[in-house]
Amino acid sequence: MIRFGPSGIPLSCKGRTLRDGIEDVHNLGLTAMEVQLVRVNLNERFAADEDIGHTIREVPGELVVKIGRSTDDDQTTFFSDFTTTIERGDDLYHLASGVASDYLELVELGKIARELDIELTLHAPYYMDFADVDGLAQKSIDSAVWGGLLADSLQARLVVTHLGRYGDLDRTLALERVKGNLEIVRDRFKAAKLSPWIGAEASGLQEVVGGLDELLWLAKHVRGVVPVLNFAHLHAREGGLLRRPEDFQAVFDKVSKVTDGHYHAHFSGVEHEGGNEIRYTPIKKGDLRFEPLAECLLMGPVDLTLISSSPLLEHDAMYMRVILDRVVAKKIGKPEVPEPVLPPAPLMKPPAKPAPKKPPAVKPTKKPTAWPAAKKQKIKKAPKKRPARKRTKPKSRPKAKKKPARRRR
Ligand SMILES: [Zn+2]
């Protein structure tokens, strides 16, 4: 199955809460969303009477991510899990994240997402220092674990994290340190019985850990870590590597050795120079095109979640879906799907213009076609419960492909 979704709340979404975002993603016909945990400021308070005997998951109105408890020898022990019960005298550290008010809400949002067949993942704070070149490894570990607490409550598949800079370290040593610290994160996930995978994201800069081979090495050596294929970053870091379907296939082939069969990826246009990403661009701009990836996806069944990290977020997620449908239609000899009509794509904040809440009740004629998604481009409220869409592959897939059509410029 191939899922598409935005990284964060859709730009065109009227509300700015996670709940609004999930509903909006569903209404746009998308089936994935990466929740952005950007802020991790902690506030501290003493445990109150009503907290005693409860776990952090049961504290209403707050996301407590850490319990601090003084021991007899004047040390403090910290707990970040859902099993330790709060005692008198404990310090409670709660997160001002803006993601949700408490764990109960996260659990409920996770349920809603599953009912709407939306796969959630969570992106940990961007700044990470797992090689400890800025002395912030401990903070990075904590942030990843807190992300794990939130992701587990959402039943998100994985926590995506950046790895941090090499600094002045020898690259091998930096990678060893990253490995060691990811092992700590993994062990803390395990101890707290947190289910999400740890997704190590490909970097788009030479100075940041996260080349494809490094991700593979980490995934191979740290159980519980999987690579997050940020194609824009890979493309930039390798100086424009991803041009043909075979180039994408080579990436999948490499990664297949370290995953359980599912791939989590980000896609966007990208401006790059000298092996470094300059900035994300809309997919239609820049030299990283989506068509070759779409063609690659036809070569074999791929279980893939594609998160749009483009400045156009959901618009480009929908664009990718349409392009994939068009490539499929072309392959199986169907008449070409017309150019998609997408809603206007704001670059900045969405205008406060309300999107039509309820589309006209047009009953689609239920004619089973092989590629139902190809035509569904109008924003439309889908039925509450939708069976998971399966991409049925054409019976015989043409193996050899013509050269991909040149890009129109
Ligand atoms: Zn990222």
pLDDT digits (tens, 9 = 90+) for 2-21: 999 999 999 999 998 999 99
Rounded distance from Cα 34 to ligand 1 centre (Å)? 10
Has residue 41 got a pLDDT over 70? Answer: yes
Same domain? 163 vs 179: yes
Based on the fold, state whether residues 85 and 171 are members of the same structural domain: no
Q: Are residues 80 and 225 in the same domain?
A: no
CB atoms within 10 A of CB 116: 18
State in Å: Cα 161 to ligand 1 middle: 6
User: How far is the centre of ligand 1, averaged over its atoms, from the C-alpha of 75 (Å)?
Assistant: 36
Distance 3 CA to ligand 1 centre (A): 18
Residue 33 is predicted with a pLDDT of: 98
216 occurs within a structural domain: yes
Q: For position 83, what pLDDT does the model report?
A: 96
Q: Are 69 and 79 in contact (CB under 8 A)?
A: yes
Mean pLDDT of the chain: 87
Same domain, residue pair 264 and 311: yes
Mark whether 23 and 48 lie in a shared domain.
no
pLDDT band of residue 247 (cuts 50, 70, 90) is very high
pTM exceeds 0.75: yes
Is pLDDT at 230 greater than 80 in this prediction?
Answer: yes
Q: What are the C-alpha distances in Å from 22 to residues 31, 300, 302?
A: 9, 30, 24
**Assigned domain for 392 exists:** no
Contacts of residue 8, Cβ cutoff 8 Å, sequence gap at least 6: 21, 33, 34, 35, 36, 313
Instruction: State the sign of the Cα–Cα–Cα–Cα dihedral 256, 321, 328, 282.
Output: negative
Q: How many domains are there within the chain?
A: 2
Is residue 40 very low, low, confident or very high in pLDDT (cuts 50, 70, 90)? confident
Q: How far, in Å, CA of 245 to CA of 292, rounded? A: 4
Same domain, 81 and 217: no
- Cα separation values, 358 from 33, 112, 317, 352, 362, Å: 22, 19, 22, 17, 11
Question: Measured in angstroms, how far is the CA atom of residue 403 from the centroid of ligand 1?
Answer: 32
Average pLDDT over residues 141-155: 98
114, 364, 379 from 361: Cα distances, Å: 25, 9, 12
Query: Which residues are bridge partners to 281 per DSSP?
Result: 269
pLDDT of residue 44: 97
| pLDDT tens readout for residues 183-223 | 999 999 999 999 999 999 999 999 999 999 999 999 999 99
Tell me the CA–centroid distance for residue 312 and ligand 1, in Å: 16
Give the residue-averaged pLDDT of 23-46. Answer: 95
79 Cα: distance to centroid of ligand 1 (angstroms): 27
Using pLDDT thresholds of 50, 70 and 90, give the confidence band for residue 301: confident
Q: Do 133 and 257 lie in a common domain?
A: yes
Neighbours of 88 (CB within 10 A): 11
**What is the model's pLDDT at position 299?**
87
349/302: higher pLDDT = 302
114 Cα–ligand 1 center, Å: 23
Q: How far apart (Å, rounded) are the C-alpha atoms in residues 233 and 276?
A: 8
Mark which of 96, 112, 139 sits at the end of a domain.
96
Residue 388 belongs to a domain: no
pLDDT band of residue 379 (cuts 50, 70, 90) is very low
Q: Which of 132-136, 290-294, 396-400 has the lowest mean pLDDT?
A: 396-400
**261 and 233 within one domain:** yes
Where is the domain boundary, 55, 79, 96? 96
Q: How far is CA 344 from CA 10, 325, 347, in A?
A: 13, 21, 10
For residue 36, is it within any domain?
yes
Same domain for 86 and 233? no
How large is the C-alpha radius of gyration of the chain? 22
What pLDDT score does 144 carry? Answer: 97
Query: Which range marks the domain in which residue 220 is found?
Result: 2-40+100-374
- 178 and 280 in a single domain? The answer is yes
Contact 331, 370 (CB under 8 A): no
Residues 21 and 113 in one domain: yes
Ligand 1 centroid distance, CA of 16 (Å): 20
Q: How far is the CA of 196 from the centre of ligand 1 (A)?
A: 16
CA distance 246 to 108: 42
Give the CA distances from residue 308 to residues 23, 32, 267, 351, in Å, rounded to whole numbers and listed in that order. Answer: 17, 10, 5, 20
How many angstroms separate the alpha carbon of residue 158 from the centre of ligand 1?
Answer: 13
Q: How far is the CA of 125 from the centre of ligand 1 (A)?
A: 8
Question: Which residues 6+ apart lie within 8 Å of 395 measured at CB?
Answer: none
User: Tokens for 366?
Assistant: 């239920």
Residue 407 lies in a domain: no
Residue 200 lies in a domain: yes
In a domain, 382, yes or no: no
Cβ–Cβ under 8 Å, residues 47 and 131: no
Compute how many other C-beta atoms are within 10 angstroms of the C-beta atom of residue 367. Answer: 6
User: If you measure from the C-alpha of residue 129 to the centroid of ligand 1, how many angstroms do you get, rounded to a whole number?
Assistant: 14
Distance between CA atoms of residues 69 and 84, nearest Å: 11
Domain-ending residue, one of 56, 77, 96: 96
Q: Are 128 and 185 found together in one domain?
A: yes
Residue 383 included in any domain: no
* CATH code of residue 287: 3.20.20.150
**Span from the CA of 124 to the centroid of ligand 1 (angstroms):** 8
